């Protein structure tokens, strides 16, 4: 029971770390030899002390003979910071309880190092909860590409714009505030050139008062019409960093973002970009905001997938349905992807 309680405490600590970071969120708790809490810590982002190092610093000499609880396997390599596995050994920790292993081939191996030095290791308790803390980060490490969330807002009949091209605002304040909160948790916001040329979006994160948030995700514009984007376009402002990718290849775009250590991409592109990603099996989550409104004409939310029969429908598994003001937010994951086609 104590192990479970202490691991849940590490999850709560880990959740205080930044989501949109190249590194995982990790929490750690040190108990002294008498099983009293001696120190706690969480990872605050790339380049800052790891959770175990913070907890050890707080515990000081009381760590000797004690137990370390940590939400993710202690790292086993020297990167921006020293290896945590070695730090635990040098501090005299005799028992380590870990929720899940590190999928990073560069950092993993800490548990084996601990065992070789006589430290008792318990692993696998609450592993699913631990993985949920770093869903996007783990996906990026395992697949080699960022986790992709496709977000769109539409009327009940699937229109994202009226026949004259106007689209502001289909949804209400609560839904738009939710979008800003979700943008803030991503490493990049991506759209196609068509969206920029038509809507001139800012793609920034703002608070309820309209003020610019301190941290802004990378704004990514993908498409061969990047040279047509005006110098005074809002996406070129100095409010946030911007990357123009003059390609129609979604996989190439995601590879470039992976090389920049982007773990989670929030796709707010129009129907063409969404269809290109979906055809390639590159959408991992759909966040749809549905307004109780009807247009009857205008642009649809998704471009042509090449589907000609109901049997080939891309089915989604709903994971959350929430009312936001008058609108409905549906979160779902693809059940399966259609065969790949060229863009």
Residues catalogued as catalytic: 52
> Any residues with CB less than 8 A from the CB of 197 and at least 6 apart, and which?
225, 228, 229
- Is 137 exposed, middle or buried, given 0-12, 13-18 or 19+ CB atoms closer than 10 A? buried
Backbone phi, then psi, for 316, in 5-degree steps?
A: -115, 150
Angstrom distances, CA of residue 333 to CA of 255, 318, 319: 22, 7, 7
Residue from 341, 331, 337, 224 nearest 276 by CA: 341
Specify the DSSP class assigned to residue 340.
P
- Chain centroid to CA 177: 18
Question: Residue 61 CB: number of other CB atoms within 10 A?
Answer: 10
State how far the Cα of 68 lies from the Cα of 41, in Å rounded to an integer. Answer: 11
Would you list the DSSP string of 15-74? TTS-SSSSSPP-EEEEE-TTS-EEEEEE--STTSPPHHHHHHHHHGGGGTT-EEEEEE--
């Amino acid at each position: 029971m104590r192990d479970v309680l202490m691991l849940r405490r590490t999850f709560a600590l880990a959740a205080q770390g930044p989501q949109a970071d190249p590194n995982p969120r990790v929490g750690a708790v040190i108990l002294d030899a008498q099983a009293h809490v001696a120190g706690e810590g969480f990872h605050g982002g790339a380049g800052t002390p790891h959770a175990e190092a913070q907890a050890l610093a707080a515990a000081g000499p009381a760590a000797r003979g004690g137990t370390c609880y940590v939400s993710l396997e202690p790292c086993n390599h020297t990167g921006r910071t020293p290896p945590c596995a070695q730090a635990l050994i040098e501090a005299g920790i005799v028992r380590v309880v870990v929720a899940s292993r590190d999928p990073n081939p560069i950092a993993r191996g800490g548990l084996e190092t601990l065992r070789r030095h006589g430290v008792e290791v318990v692993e696998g308790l609450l592993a699913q909860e631990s993985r949920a803390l770093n869903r996007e980060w783990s996906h990026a490490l395992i697949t080699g590409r960022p986790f992709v969330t496709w977000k769109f807002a539409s009327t009940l009949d699937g229109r994202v714009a009226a026949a004259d091209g106007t689209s502001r605002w289909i949804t209400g304040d609560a839904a738009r505030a939710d979008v800003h909160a979700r943008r803030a948790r991503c490493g990049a916001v991506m759209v196609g050139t068509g969206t920029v040329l038509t809507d001139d979006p800012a793609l920034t994160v703002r608070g309820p008062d309209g003020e610019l948030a301190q941290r802004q995700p990378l704004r990514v514009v993908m498409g061969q019409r990047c040279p047509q984007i005006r110098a005074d376009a809002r996406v070129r402002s100095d409010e946030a960093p911007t990357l123009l990718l003059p390609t129609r290849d979604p996989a190439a775009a995601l590879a470039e973002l992976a090389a920049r250590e982007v773990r989670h991409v929030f796709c707010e592109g129009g129907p063409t970009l969404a269809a290109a990603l979906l055809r390639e099996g590159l959408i991992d989550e759909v966040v749809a905001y549905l307004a109780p409104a009807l247009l009857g004409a205008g642009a649809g939310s998704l471009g042509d997938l090449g589907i000609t029969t109901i049997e080939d429908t891309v089915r989604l598994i709903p994971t959350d349905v929430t009312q936001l003001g008058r609108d409905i937010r549906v979160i779902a994951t693809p059940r399966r992807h259609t065969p790949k086609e060229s863009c």
